Amino acid sequence: MALGALIGAYQEDDSGGLRALLPLAGQTLVEYQLRCLAAAGAAPLVVLVERVPPALNEAFERLRGEGIAVTCVGDGREAASRFEAGSDLILLADGVAPDVNDIARLAESDQPMILVVPDDEQHAGYERIDASHRWAGLARIDSGLLGATAAMLGDWDLQSTLLRRAVQAAVELRPAASGPGAGPLLAESEEKLAGFERRLLVASRGGRDDWVARYLLPVIEEMATEKLMETRFRPVWLVHGALALTLMAALSLTRGWMGPAVAMLVLSTPLDLVARRLALLRLRPLSPSALALRSLWPAAGLALLAAGWFVARHDGGWGAMACALTAAAFGEAMRIERGGIEIPANQWLFSRRSAIVAAIPFAFLGAWNSLLALLALYAAVSFYFVQHVRHRDTRPAE
């Protein structure tokens, strides 16, 4: 069954502007709302708005530029005409920053429901339903109810009237997500959204699967994400930047520019982490199969071989190239052998970032032969450890 969405964007905030235009994580609130709904597969996305100021129109144009089609309507009758007969729609209240898990629940359900929060002091601004419940700002309803409500609406508020009719129709009430870092937020001012923005920032932290990302880069990653989320910087540009730096480092290593090469490699280490977080904040996660992301590992291998080739040709002997080839081969074998299984102490295994950071002290000392030997040993030990974990439970009992 088709699932659309209707969002209100006409109520004013405490300063007299539209709630829909309050800033949230480098976007407007209505952009966040629409991206949440689009990520859940809702279409069409219909926005009920009395007037479209330039800032709101710009927000819609940005969304359309990302392939998210948005339709503006001026009243309930026009809104009802945008949905197919017999379809369901998600009703999202004006000024509510939703919890993505709540939207997912509504999208996955096959029954109408109204999400509610407790009638307590914390939720005093939410619309009251009965003596113990207030509306969380999200509901799944039948489009026929919207059409019937629009037909008798008159001068009443569509959002509130539609909610009342849904309650009268005995649509099931279910609690919204709750607890620390969960649940919706009614945004009446920019200050109220600040805490929700921080919550989104914390939730965007991915699994830091190597010791460099876990222990050395979190501060840099956090600062860069906070700065860039307020801009229109595209996450994929950071991945392309990391790839370009790695390839330039490989070229520099073939010319013997070892210091600049290591510096470029170090600069590349946090970029894909920040890119993933920005993409999550904008509800458009980077695909693990994206070409630029998949190319970072072979590009790092190319830099390793370039270092071995240069050192071997300049008094390092054939052992330097042999170590570089060994490290690259064991690193790739480890990646294939790991194959997505859970590995104890996974963060300590050989990785692109760990190899780069390990190179820093050797670069200062000029001990390139020692570095290549260490990386070969590191990659080999990591491979055999992964192999041991993968096959330990398949060995026949003695």
If the chain, 398 residues long, is cut into consecutive pieces of 10 residues, what is the mean pLDDT of each piece? 88 85 92 95 94 92 92 91 93 94 94 94 91 94 92 77 92 91 88 89 84 94 92 92 98 95 97 94 88 95 97 89 96 90 90 96 93 97 93 61
What pLDDT is stored for residue 319 in this prediction? 92
Other CB atoms closer than 10 Å to residue 211's CB: what's the count? 18
Domain with CATH 1.20.120.1760 in the chain: 208-391
Other CB atoms closer than 10 Å to residue 55's CB: what's the count? 12
Domain with CATH 3.90.550.10 in the chain: 3-193
Q: Which CATH superfamily is domain 208-391 in?
A: CDP-alcohol phosphotransferase transmembrane (TM) domain (1.20.120.1760)
What pLDDT is stored for residue 316 in this prediction? 79
The residues, ordered by sequence, that sit 6+ positions from 42 with a Cβ below 8 Å of its Cβ are: 3, 4, 5, 89, 90, 107
Q: Which CATH superfamily is domain 3-193 in?
A: Spore Coat Polysaccharide Biosynthesis Protein SpsA; Chain A (3.90.550.10)
Tokens representing residue 88 in the block: 């369901």
Amino acid at 97: A
